[in-house]
Amino acid sequence: MTGAARGIGYATARLFLEHGARVAINDLSPEAVDAAVTSLGKANLVAAPGSVALATDCECIVERAIWDLEGLDVLINNAGIYVEASVEQTDEVLWNETLDTNLKGTFFMSRAATPHLRESRGAIVNLASEAGVVGSPNISAYAASKAGIIGLTRAMAMELVPDVRVTCVCPSPTDTQIFERTAETLDDPDSYRASLVRYSPMRRMARADEVAKAILFLASSDASFITGTALMVDGGVTAGSAAL
């Protein structure tokens, strides 16, 4: 599970453990991975740090997971970068960092895991976003990466069927550290937080555990006839206007 040291990834790792799974925890920082493993209780956990933005690291992450877990049934591609910046503010460095982590990482982790998932007839669950479906200002690089993940999910699903199911989850803004860090950089953080609450017709942010439950469902045998789908966990954002 990539990007599992915090936020949605951490909540998902905890939920999988509660359901008896053995989980490989990946994140960019070895220290963050070790802290997450310790916090989750160490049992049935494997530390697999590395950068998903590098294809060679993706191969090493998968190899480490398979070595310690003695196989692979599910890949969760959760690692991601979110930075709010206008088109004019988005330089090549930010564009590359965002696309390399979010989209390239999803592809090369999946590529490395595919032979093993074919063997186990397993599943891939990718983390996309409602931002890949509807337009929002100041997140063009992020939106492009998430729209790419939705397209990649559908293409891989058709290529790997029937051996491997490939799906993705598309959350709306979720109450995690990533948005709090953004708020703290602004002159009016309270206004920003309020805008996130208003964004969904349900008038609140998603919780990490709610997104984790959707991921668990798509990874499980309960979703055995589901592949190529993009599951919206967005409080109604893509169903209609938030100005209800």
Antiparallel, parallel or unpaired: β 45-47 and 74-77:
unpaired
Distance CA 177, CA 171 (A): 15
Phi/psi for 54 (5° steps) reads -115, 125
Structure tokens of 111?
A: 């590529």
**What are 161-179's pLDDT values in tens digits?**
999 999 999 999 998 888 8
Do residues 48 and 42 touch, judged by C-beta distance below 8 A? no
pLDDT of residue 124: 98
CA proximity to 134, closest of 147, 150, 148 = 147
Helix (H/G/I), strand (E/B), else coil: 173:
coil
Beta strands in the chain (DSSP E): 23-25, 45-47, 74-77, 123-127, 165-171, 230-233
Least-confidence region, from 80-94, 153-167, 168-182, 204-218: 168-182
**What are 61-76's pLDDT values in tens digits?**
999 999 999 999 999 9
pLDDT of residue 108: 98
Distance CA 43, CA 41 (A): 6
pLDDT, average across residues 222-235: 97
From 10, 142, 192, 199, the catalytic residue: 142
- Give the residue extent of every domain in the chain: 7-171+208-233, 174-205
**What are 108-148's pLDDT values in tens digits?**
999 999 999 999 999 999 999 999 999 999 999 999 999 99
pLDDT of residue 178: 83
Catalytic residue check, 142:
yes
pLDDT of residue 240: 81
- Amino acid identity, position 200: S
Q: Confirm or reject CATH 3.55.40.20 for domain 7-171+208-233, answering yes or no.
A: no
- The yes-or-no verdict on residue 241 having pLDDT over 80 is no
